[in-house]
Structures are given as C-alpha cells and as structure tokens.
Structure 1
Amino acid sequence: MTIPKLSVIISTYNKPKDLSLVLHGYLEQTEKDFEIIIADDGSTEETQQMLAKFSEKHNIKIYHVWHKDQGFQKTKILNKAILQSNSNYLLFTDGDCLPRKDLVKKHIELRRDKHFLSGSYYKLNEQVSETITIPIIKEQSCFNAKWLKSKGQDVTFKINKLTSFGFKEWFLNTFTTTKATWDGCNVSGWKKDILAVNGFDERMQYGGEDRELGERLVNYGVQPIQARYSLVCVHLHHDRPYKNDEAFKANLLIRSQTKKQRIIKTKYGINS
C-alpha cells in the first residue's frame, strides 16, 4: 500500500449535511495525496449512508471509524481514528470546518520535525452559514471577504485570516499575540509524536480536551508553529448543547496537572 502524505481526521456527530459540505471542500484540494478518516462519535445511520453515497459518487476512499453513542466521547473516537490512519502525518479538523483549497498543501509544506502546526478558523454567522452550498465551495466564494460581507458577515480584524498571503501572512503569524496551541479544528502533527504521548486523554469531555494533548506534546519537546494566517478553514455556525461546566472544570484540573507535573504520556490514552 502506498503511504499518503497526510491523513485528514475529521471528527463528527450527527451532522451529515455539514459533513458533506466539508468533504466537498476536500474534493477541491490542490494537493491530492491524502486520505480521509471520519472519527464518528456515535452518529446515526444517516451519516453512514451519506458517506457511502459520497464515496461511490466521487470515487474517493473514506475510512469511517465509529463507536456507539455514549455521550461526548470525542477523545476516544479520535484515538481509534489515529490507529486507523495510514500516513505518518495527521491533520485534525471538525466536520463543520470547511477547508480552503490550499489547506492540505499548506499543512504539508509547513510541517517540520519535532513541531506541530497550529491553525485556526474564521467563524461564520448563522445567516451566512445557511447560504453555503456545494457550488459556493467549488467557487471558493466562502473564503472571499467581499462575498462574505455581501451575505451579511460582520467584518472584523479576524477577516485577515482569509486575506493574508506572502509578507502579510508571515508578519501576522510572527507577531500575533495569540498563543499557538493544539486546537482540534485545524491542527497537524507527526503520528509518531502523538503516539509517543499516548494520544488523547480519554477521561476528558468537551472543553480544552484538544489543547491538553498539545500541552503534553510540548512537554515531550514538540514545539508549536503559529500558522493561523496560513492554514485556512471557515467554521459553520452551530449550537453547543454538549457544553458542561462540571466537565470543563474537570478538564482544567487535568490540564493543570499536565503542566505542573510535566506529564508526557497519559495513562488514559490509546494504550491504557
């Protein structure tokens, strides 16, 4: 089997419409040497049916990694997806983050040994999100600042994520005050490093569960590269009914222990 340059691991839960749009975004990538792995945290058969039809229509191999719905268990399904991956380099994103056509190419170009790439996303409002269609993704209009503004998107400084190239891109990546972190919507790293820290901590629910992995990678000696103005996704609007204050507090405690004790390898990860 030929090893792909990169594995795209897309987390999802019961959003087949959004996921379909995201997959169309990956059809438009200028770099074609990658695989897609869907990390499905217990979706109904509707998602499976959509994936089967999509794969058949577009002649693209998609690995669907699924487990039974037992509440928010994203860290567990991501660990399973990591083991399913065939590439040495992994890009993690979400099933509601549309990739610009150069996303995979940029992740491959910017990767470095003993580093991970910290990207970001530009969040669309509800009104604009509802206008996104397959033709718009093909045209890449949803990454165009003027088009977004014409559809009702408020334009703030963050629009620079979509309009930065060349010197401006370098300048903003270099001098931003935003810390480079492991955010699961748009981040990539070497599989060997992720396995070395034992993947995601499966005790963690929603709220910082991605960042904790990055903090252990840093403890291991893997440094983040700030690339929020180079690695471009737009985020479709959605509610977050799974937010849980108690879980968030528990996650903060785990992250505090990770930092203070300089923990590298979680006992609650891929091999536990």
Structure 2
Amino acid sequence: MNNIKVGIIISTYNNPEWLEKTLWGYMAQERKADEIIIADDGSRDDTRMLIERYAETLPIKHVWHEDDGFRKTKILNEALKVATADYIIFTDQDCVPRRDFIATHLRYARKGCFLSGGYFSLPMSISREMTHEDICQGRPFSIAWLRSRGLKLSFKCTKLVRCGFFSSFMNAVTPTKATWNGMNSSGWRHDLMAANGFDERMRYGGEDRELGERLFNTGIRSRQIRYSAIVIHLDHSRPYVNNEAWQLNNAIRKETRKKRLKRTEYGIDR
C-alpha cells in the first residue's frame, strides 16, 4: 500500500478551535496525507483564515459553500469532486487522530472493502485543555494522562489500548456493526464515485450510514477497525438535531434497503 495516494476529507462548520486541534493531529501523523480536503458547510471567515494559515504546512484544499442550514452531504460531495487520492478517509472537525491513524487505515485497506474506525469521547474540560504539544506527543491517547485530568475509567477506555493483538481481538468480538460512520471511515474513491457519493436530501442523523448501505448493496464488504484506528472526539453541542430530519433520513434509508439501491439519484451526478 506504499504507492497508494491517500486523502483525508474533514467536514467542518464554524468551529475553528476544534478544527485546529484536529489539524495538529494530521501534522503529527507517522504516514502523512497526500491531500487534506476541508469540506466546509458555510463557516465564517475565521475558519477560512485558519485553513489558509495551515495550508503552508499541510496539503490542504478548502471546499466551501454558503451557509444554508445543515448541508453536510452536499459539501462532502463537492469535496469528493476535487479529490484525487486513490483511497479516502472521512472524518470531522472535532476528531483528533492518533499518530498511527492514516497508517492503520492503509494497513487494513483491501479491494472490495470499506473500513469502520472508532472514537473515544472526551468531556469539554479536557477537550479545551489539550495543547498543540499534548497532541503532537500523543498524550490525549494515554489513559494515565487522561486520568490525571479527571477522566474516570470505564470499559470504553479499552479503545485507547495500543496493542495489535488486543485491538484485533476486540475488533473481532465487538457486537457493534461495521457501518459507514462519518467521523472515522474510509474507502476507495472509485467505489464512492460509483455510488454517486452522498444523498444530498439527507440532513443530520444517519446520513453517513446510508452511503454504507448502498455500498453493501453493490457487494462491498465492511471491516471493523474501531479498536485499531482511533480518534479523540472533542465535546460539542448539536443544535442541528431535530426529529423531522431523523424521520426524513430514516425513510430514505428504508427505501435504500428495500430496493437494494446501489446508487443515489441525488448525489454528485444529478
């Protein structure tokens, strides 16, 4: 996989503080990204200025459209249009990657597969406290460091254990299905383009998983790596959550499963 060109698509909206912490994580990667595309759902100028500053050290492309409500699926499709990488990892502005994140996705990548990674959620206090040095040194992925900042131990902390055998075992026994999750999933660009990208009718709530369901319908398999490819999920509010959006999305997903749709008519190519 050394000759594979890998891209990162990061969705963002009006949170440059969290986006900057995420970009610090990509600066510290063992295997660097060949391209990083910021899929910006209408952020203000402070996000644009941040991206311009980091474009000097990271291979960043900024794809933006005007703010007209939650249109994440549309801006992700715009990002896919400009992507040139063979293999693409999707994530969000609030997901700081461990230093082996890209390398791990590439190690598990296989033809005819997409990967479903994992996350570990932090409280707001630690999310705000993390510095550039902390992230570059990998401290937020240390259970001891997190405990020293007041985090209570729980079973979920097992996601932070960096041990190949243990991670592989947990990937195999976890009851959680390997679905396409926007904060940490990856696949081949030609598979995503064949599916016509994301369904642009969808709002917040399962909008990422619907793409995965169409990939399943084409015979693409999923692989679970939620204990191997890890991001730290920074805390934030979700003002865009509403029942009407969930109902719409559930209806679209139901149709996708019932008709075994492989391609959406409401995606990249309309």
Residue 211 of structure 2: aligned partner: 213
Distance 1:118 1:128 in 2: 25
**What is the CA distance between 1:155 and its match in structure 2?**
2.0
**What is the CA distance between 1:38 and its match in structure 2?**
0.2
Query: Secondary structure at 1:177's aligned position in 2?
Result: coil
Query: Gapped runs of 5+ residues in structure 2?
Result: none
Query: Secondary structure at 1:232's aligned position in 2?
Result: strand
Residue 87 of structure 2: aligned partner: 89
Residue 112 of structure 2: aligned partner: 114
Residue 266 of structure 2: aligned partner: 268
Instruction: Provide, for residues 43-83 of structure 1, a one-character-per-residue CA deviation record: whole Å limited to 9, x for no partner.
Output: 01110111112223x3x221000000000000000000011
Residue 145 of structure 2: aligned partner: 147
Residue 248 of structure 2: aligned partner: 250
Distance 1:11 1:264 in 2: 24
Residue 49 of structure 2: aligned partner: 49
Q: Out of 227, 230, 233, which is 2:231 matched to?
A: 233
Instruction: Provide, for residues 157-192 of structure 1, a one-character-per-residue CA deviation record: whole Å limited to 9, x for no partner.
Output: 111111141211111001111111000000000011
**What is the CA distance between 1:110 and its match in structure 2?**
0.6
Distance 2:189 2:13 in 1: 24
**What is the CA distance between 1:29 and its match in structure 2?**
0.3
Query: Secondary structure at 2:152's aligned position in 1?
Result: coil
Cα 1:77–1:105 change in 2 (3 A) is same
Query: Secondary structure at 1:130's aligned position in 2?
Result: helix
- Residue 48 of structure 2 is aligned to residue 9 of structure 1: no
Which residue identity is paired with 1:256? K
5 Å-filtered alignment, 1:21-100, equals 21-56=21-56, 58=57, 60-100=58-98
Residue 199 of structure 1: aligned partner: 197
Residue 157 of structure 1: aligned partner: 155
Which residue identity is paired with 1:46? D
CA RMSD of aligned residues (A): 1.1
Query: Secondary structure at 1:231's aligned position in 2?
Result: strand
Query: Secondary structure at 2:226's aligned position in 1?
Result: coil
CA contact (8 A) 2:8 2:33 kept: no
Task: Give the structure-2-normalised TM-score.
Answer: 0.97
Query: Secondary structure at 1:68's aligned position in 2?
Result: coil
Query: Secondary structure at 1:81's aligned position in 2?
Result: helix
Task: Give the structure-1-normalised TM-score.
Answer: 0.96
The 4+ residue runs of structure 1 with deviation greater than 6 A are: none
Query: Secondary structure at 2:172's aligned position in 1?
Result: helix
CA contact (8 A) 2:34 2:59 kept: no
- Residue 175 of structure 2 is aligned to residue 177 of structure 1: yes
Identity %: 49
Instruction: Provide, for residues 67-112 of structure 1, a one-character-per-residue CA deviation record: whole Å limited to 9, x for no partner.
Output: 0000000000000001111101110000010000000001111100
Query: Secondary structure at 2:7's aligned position in 1?
Result: strand
**Which stretch of the first structure deviates more once superposed, 16-25 or 200-209?**
16-25
Distance 1:212 1:33 in 2: 26
Instruction: Provide, for residues 200-241 of structure 1, a one-character-per-residue CA deviation record: whole Å limited to 9, x for no partner.
Output: 000000000000000000001111000000101000000000
- Residue 135 of structure 2 is aligned to residue 137 of structure 1: yes
Query: Gapped runs of 5+ residues in structure 1?
Result: none
Distance 1:54 1:218 in 2: 36
